[in-house]
A and B are shown apart, each in its own frame.
Chain A
Amino acid sequence: MSQGKLLSLISSPFTCLCRNQAKGQHLTLLNRSLSFSSSRCSEDNKDYEINPEFINRNDRCLEYKNLLPRRKGWQYQRPTKEFYYRLTINPTAAKIEAILEHSSGRKVVSASSAEWAIRQFLYSGRDLSAAVNLGRVFAERCLKAGIVSAFYDPNTDVHGSEKVKVILKALEEAGIQIGEDEVFEKKFRPGINYDGKNRLGEGKRPDDVQIIQ
């Protein structure tokens, strides 16, 4: 995501911007004298200048580190929007559905016992054994998609359904954490750096309206 560029109306000011630290020069010198690797190209990267500012375009990167702020403005609304990934398990009369949604509304992973790929191996599309197997399939799909944790709202399960519990158990067994960790927020420190970049008295800009893509 490029910073400051009018890419779209939907843009997040929270980019994965990293700055270069001081390089460990003494360590590299030591290693040079010890390494005898044959596939060394000594001249090619000699003058390669590294940009001190590195922007990682991967949108998911900040979510793994719990650095991206979550959508906090809907605290008096239900269902809550304060998550990265939300797990929805919906056992209906005809089928059982499991959906993993991103907070932007995009469906990331989904599995349903009505899908022919799953249904052809089941006895029934809506009983407990269907829930067990759907949980296994859904957990495998989540792992393949690189999902590590997901938010689950227990209030959505009104009846205390056994099917829901069984799907959650399958996800936990696969290694996906139910419930996301707290966001890492920078602690407040007094003082403003007047020499560097500061936002003193800046007018409100469209970037401040954070709609996470």
Chain B
Amino acid sequence: MPELARTFEQRLADMKLTEQSKANNVNIGFPLTNTAITQSQKRAVIRKNKQELLALVQDGELMIDLDEVDAASWDTNKREHLHRLAVHYGVFRDLFGGAFFYPQVDLEVSYDISEEDEVPVFHGNLIEPSQTSRVPNVHYEVDGDSLWTLLMTAPDSHLQDNNAEYLHWLVANIPGNDISKGEQLCDYLQVFPVKGTGFHRYVFILFKQEQQIDFRDDRLSPNTCSLKERTFNTFNFYERHQDHMTPAGFCFFQSEHDESVRDVFWNKLDMKEPSFEFVFPVPYHPIQKKFPHKKPFNLYLDRYRDIKDINEEVLQEKLKTVHPFKPSTDPKYPLYRLQLENRGLPSWLKKKRRNATHKVMQWED
């Protein structure tokens, strides 16, 4: 009954609820606290604006400073927005197995592409691999003495195991802001999304340490190019150090294949550049019937033919017009010739020859 039946949206919500209750959706970071601004303070600001901005608004020239808005939003709703985006891109799901955290610190990472220009890393923006060849500039606001760990992983790039990640950069025991004074456990390697595999995510995570931690087990050989050594799992890494470390910030970008990826494979990693092709899911076909009702027999039978037989037929047709010594010449006015030759033939044969001339269906190549 409509009164009792749940709508599609309600059924979806119920499914998602059971999903969430099963998964390990725990807040592993710091609690989310927003600075409260009283209503009277807000009213005072609005009153001030009504006097100061009236002239600008009347001329239609009020253009607010976007950087100021961004800075102000950090204390109000930006952390929730960032959390939302990270959930959308599956960052928490793939790196921490569902456990999430709200960013405490605004992690600002940017790549220098020339002396004047730099490409910042936000939350999902698209960057080319050639722009990531140099070590990025990292900045975050610190109060007092504290130790931090910065991690850069690629959850999508692994060439052997789908659930593993590659470690691109790991710096630990960073005093305050200064990355250069931290312990380089893994040297920076340029991003290398493989050809044909689409956009890969690259995530920077900043952990806040309570004390100096011994990262002996996590140290890799300096300037390592071995992909086996760089195989990483953020979940296991964090599990070992979770008592003294809390995730405090993140940022991520997406990248697709580029010519510089080839250089990385040939020159740095010293291996052949792999390339992939997207595989469409296999279409569904019902079981073939002996007497299909109201189905054109030629199309129905063609659908169930072995693809090897079809390819053989196409090849034989092509070879009829190919000569090993004479150059290949396309016949003049093929559609007119088709019209003449098709006269008097049965309709299924006409369709087949028309497809062959127009290079459609199995004749497309």
Q: Which residues of B contact A23 (CB under 8 A)?
A: 272-275
Main secondary structure of the interface of A (DSSP, over half): loop
Q: A108-B85, A145-B122 are in contact. List 8 more A-B contacts (CB 8 A).
A: A45-B228, A115-B73, A115-B77, A117-B73, A121-B68, A192-B303, A199-B284, A199-B285
Q: Any chain A CB within 8 A of the CB of B242?
A: no
How long is the Cα–Cα vector from A2 to B94 in the complex, in angstroms?
11
Do B275 and A123 touch across chains, with their CB atoms under 8 A apart?
A: no
Do A191 and B72 touch across chains, with their CB atoms under 8 A apart?
A: no
Partner of A121, one of B64, B229, B271: B64
25 interchain pairs (CB within 8 A)?
A9-B15, A21-B275, A23-B272, A40-B267, A44-B225, A44-B229, A44-B270, A54-B194, A56-B156, A57-B162, A58-B90, A58-B200, A59-B90, A60-B199, A61-B199, A65-B278, A108-B88, A115-B76, A118-B73, A121-B64, A144-B125, A145-B85, A146-B126, A199-B285, A200-B288
> Which B residues contact A (CB, under 8 angstroms)?
9, 12, 15-16, 18-19, 37, 42, 45-46, 49-50, 53-54, 56-57, 60, 62-66, 68-70, 72-73, 76-78, 81, 84-85, 87-90, 94, 122-126, 155-156, 159-163, 194, 196-201, 223-229, 253-254, 266-288, 299, 302-311, 361-362, 364
Shortest Cβ distance from residue B262 to the other chain A in the assembled complex, whole angstroms: 8
How long is the Cα–Cα vector from A153 to B288 in the complex, in angstroms?
42
Q: Which residues of B contact A37 (CB under 8 A)?
A: 267-268
Count how many chain A residues have C-beta atoms less than 8 Å from C-beta atoms of the other chain. Answer: 92
Main secondary structure of the interface of B (DSSP, over half): mixed
Given contacts A67-B278, A191-B306, A192-B303, contact A28 B62 (CB under 8 A): no
Shortest Cβ distance from residue B258 to the other chain A in the assembled complex, whole angstroms: 15
Shortest Cβ distance from residue A71 to the other chain B in the assembled complex, whole angstroms: 11
Do B53 and A123 touch across chains, with their CB atoms under 8 A apart?
A: yes
How long is the Cα–Cα vector from A18 to B279 in the complex, in angstroms?
5
Q: Which residues of B contact A140 (CB under 8 A)?
A: 66, 70
Q: Which residues of A contact B199 (CB under 8 A)?
A: 56, 58, 60-61, 64
Q: Any chain B CB within 8 A of the CB of A194?
A: yes
Q: Any chain B CB within 8 A of the CB of A96?
A: no
Q: Which residues of B contact A32 (CB under 8 A)?
A: 266
Do A106 and B280 touch across chains, with their CB atoms under 8 A apart?
A: no
| Interface 1/0 per residue, A142-154 and B, CB below 8 Å | 0111101000000
